[in-house]
Amino acid sequence: MADNIQQVYVIQGRILRDYADLHTVLAQLPLRVTVLPFLTTEDEVIARTRDAVALVVASSPVGRKVMSALENLKVVLRTGVGYDVIDIPAATELGVVAVNIPDLWVREVANHTMGLLLAWNRKLIAQDRDVHAGSWSPGIPGAWTGSVYGETVGIVGLGNIGSAFARRAAAFEAKIIAHDPYVEDAHFKALGVERVSLEALAERADYVSVHTPLNAETHHLINEAFLRRMKPTAMLINTARGPVVDEQALARALTAKQLAGAALDVWEREPVPGDSPLLRMDNVIATPHAAYYSTSAVARIPRRCGEELVRALTGQQPLNVINPEVYAPGAARRGGDLPTL
């Protein structure tokens, strides 16, 4: 039986997690689970996981080079919502099932986004610093303070998280507009959200919040042209993926007062370099890619990953397949299914 045991590798992210629950779930299959530290390059991934039947990754890259080298690889599972670390076209071409866990921290990210909007609108960080320093000046610092209610919140990307944020912003009596060419009109209508073009969103919104995946289409979607259209009193929030926003263009736009401020949880490079001009700006709120976090949400990751691996490796279709084409009739998926013990 030992000869039939196959290998699953869990590659930790920059923050270490306890994957005991994943071990428990996978105990029903003839699998050996090895947890590895964060690996930064594809060559490192190949060297440490060459016999993998499945990979569980947080931030390590799994591109065509990895999937071609790992000839037994059947499944790549990303431990969260975004899957830009996986080359999805290559996975589909090679018959590798790609899976993510898109619903674990929808509420956490939506809450963090709303928190950033309110923190910027109410200038909470500046007020806190002033009071701690002994200053007492009732009122909100700055030339302009919006009311939120009656103002316009523009959402770029109306998926799970964008929709959850729309509900929260609507509860503050804001007008909600959104741009997402891949979401049906019925969903916009159900949320009470007005569908607009990307250009109209930039021009009308008092608060722009980004909730798109990162891919070739969305890379630098928020660019110089978009920022030039924004109101000088508006602010930008990004809790999606850093490279969706052109940070150099954002820094220039803020310097030129084309918009009033920004709140960023995600960055083009992470950790964000200490010499980033955005970190020197008082009108930029910075958080360290933490929007997803709550103790309860993070605790559910290992079990959810294990359950999806069981499905994928025993011939069932996982709940959240990124590349469903591999399950189309006649499509070739790598390898056979595993028996349960």
Would you name the residues annotated as active-site residues?
A: 241, 270, 289
Distance CA 86, CA 62 (A): 5
Pairing of strands 152-156, 175-179: parallel
Cβ of 16: how many Cβ atoms within 10 Å? 10
299 to each of 83, 225, 311, 333, how far by Cα in Å?
20, 41, 20, 31
Q: Give the Cβ contact number of residue 243 at 10 Å.
A: 20
Closest CA to 91 of 338, 340, 332: 332
Helix segments in the chain, DSSP class H: 20-26, 42-49, 64-69, 88-94, 106-121, 124-132, 160-171, 185-191, 198-204, 224-229, 247-255, 295-299, 301-313
What is the SS3 assignment for 119? helix
Provide the token pair at 153.
């919140």
Query: Within a 10 A sphere around the Cβ of 68, how many other Cβ atoms?
Result: 14
Amino acid at 248: Q
Q: Give the CA diameter of the chain.
A: 74
Residue 80 has which token pair?
Answer: 């969260």
Amino acid identity, position 278: L
Contacts 24+ apart (CB under 8 A), 16-24: 17/298, 17/301, 17/302, 18/302, 19/56, 19/302, 19/305, 20/302, 21/302, 21/303, 21/306, 22/56, 22/302, 22/303, 22/305, 22/306, 22/309, 23/306, 24/303, 24/306
Q: Which amino acid is at 338?
A: L
